[in-house]
């Protein structure tokens, strides 16, 4: 029996991610004609391909196949979080993250975004409030911090091997990973000899080694060249877990993220679905600037 909604779902989700039929076919290792048949309901993908589609589109199988609402399973809940140093940084931060969500965290410089992600990652503790995690912080959360955490005297390949050992992984193809980031020729160089952009690429690879439930990226593309930035967003688009990203690349926010959080005045001043913003004929840049003006008025 043909599933009348599946073809439309594939078209809708493919267009949302700005993927052509050929690009989707390449990811699935099928022909473009196969994608066309699925979308026209002349054929249906097998179970393995359905699973792959759900991962590429970052949605539940029930949502993909039956168009049922996404299951809102929380993986993280923050309640009335506060943190001060010489002065209050976070005052009353409350929000949750859910499975498969793609969330961007916006805010001006000094708003406390990096402090917040360090709290979520368990690198620092809040002064007050609660953090409920539905994952193992050390094994199932991976953070790419704004400042690289690398061991300067180590060689590039040694750094990769160390991270693989810490994560207790056995089947990682280091050569393939380094070649994907154009770092294979630098594998024997010490980390300190790499350019700033190369160090950023290495930090990204180390972050992505884990099969984590929650990935956090703090201004990940700073120092990257344009080609590497494109590769970063393409790679991030393949993550099936939850992602929380600090970025002001509004072009990418518009088509990559599901939800946007605005941190202002020590609290989450806005929490909005990207689709809702678009439904009001706004892009994220316009929404962000306009919302800040409203908040400051």
What confidence score (pLDDT) does residue 225 get? 83
Mean pLDDT of 127-135: 94
CA distances from 117 to 35, 131, 163 (A): 39, 12, 21
Mean pLDDT of 9-32: 86
Last residue of a domain, one of 66, 89, 110: 66
* Number of domains forming the structure of the chain: 2
**DSSP secondary structure string, 103-169?**
EEEE--TTSSHHHHHHHHTTSS--SEEEEEESS-HHHHEEEE-SS----TTSBHHHHHHHHHHHTT-
Q: Is there a domain that residue 90 lies in?
A: no
pLDDT band for position 71 (50/70/90)?
Answer: low
Provide the domain limits for residue 21: 6-66
pLDDT tens digits, one per residue of 98-122: 988 889 999 998 899 999 999 999 9
What confidence score (pLDDT) does residue 281 get? 87
Q: What CATH number is given to the structural domain containing 146?
A: 3.40.50.300
Q: Is there a domain that residue 26 lies in?
A: yes
pTM of structure? 0.78
Q: What CATH number is given to the structural domain containing 36?
A: 1.10.260.40
What confidence score (pLDDT) does residue 47 get? 92
pLDDT band for position 216 (50/70/90)?
Answer: very high
Mean pLDDT of 197-203: 92
- Whether residue 69 is predicted with pLDDT greater than 70 in this model: the reply is no
């Amino acid at each position: 029996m043909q599933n009348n909604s599946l073809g439309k779902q594939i078209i809708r989700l493919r267009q949302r991610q700005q993927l052509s039929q050929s690009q989707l076919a390449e990811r699935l290792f099928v022909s473009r004609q196969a994608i066309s048949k699925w979308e026209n309901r002349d054929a249906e993908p097998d179970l393995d391909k359905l699973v792959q589609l759900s991962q590429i589109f970052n949605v539940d199988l029930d949502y993909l196949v039956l168009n049922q609402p996404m299951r809102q399973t929380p993986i993280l809940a923050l309640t009335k979080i506060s943190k001060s140093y010489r002065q209050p940084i976070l005052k009353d931060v409350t929000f949750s993250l859910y499975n498969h969500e793609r969330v961007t965290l916006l805010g001006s410089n000094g708003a406390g975004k990096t402090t917040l992600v360090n709290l979520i990652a368990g690198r620092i503790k809040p002064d007050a409030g609660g953090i409920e995690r539905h994952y193992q912080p050390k094994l199932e959360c991976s953070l790419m911090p704004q400042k690289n955490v690398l061991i300067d005297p180590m060689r590039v390949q040694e750094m990769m091997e160390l991270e693989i050992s810490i994560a207790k992984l056995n089947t990682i193809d280091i050569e393939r990973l380094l070649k994907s980031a154009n770092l294979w020729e630098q594998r024997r160089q010490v980390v300190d000899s790499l350019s700033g952009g190369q160090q950023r690429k290495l930090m990204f690879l180390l972050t992505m080694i884990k099969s984590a439930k929650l990935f956090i990226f703090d201004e990940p593309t700073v120092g990257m060249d344009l080609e590497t930035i494109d590769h970063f967003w393409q790679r991030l688009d393949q993550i099936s877990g939850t992602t929380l990203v600090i970025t002001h690349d509004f072009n990418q926010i518009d088509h990559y993220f599901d939800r946007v959080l605005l941190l202002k005045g020590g609290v989450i001043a806005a929490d909005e679905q990207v689709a809702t913003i678009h439904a009001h004929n706004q892009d994220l840049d316009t929404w962000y600037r306009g919302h800040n003006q409203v908040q400051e008025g």
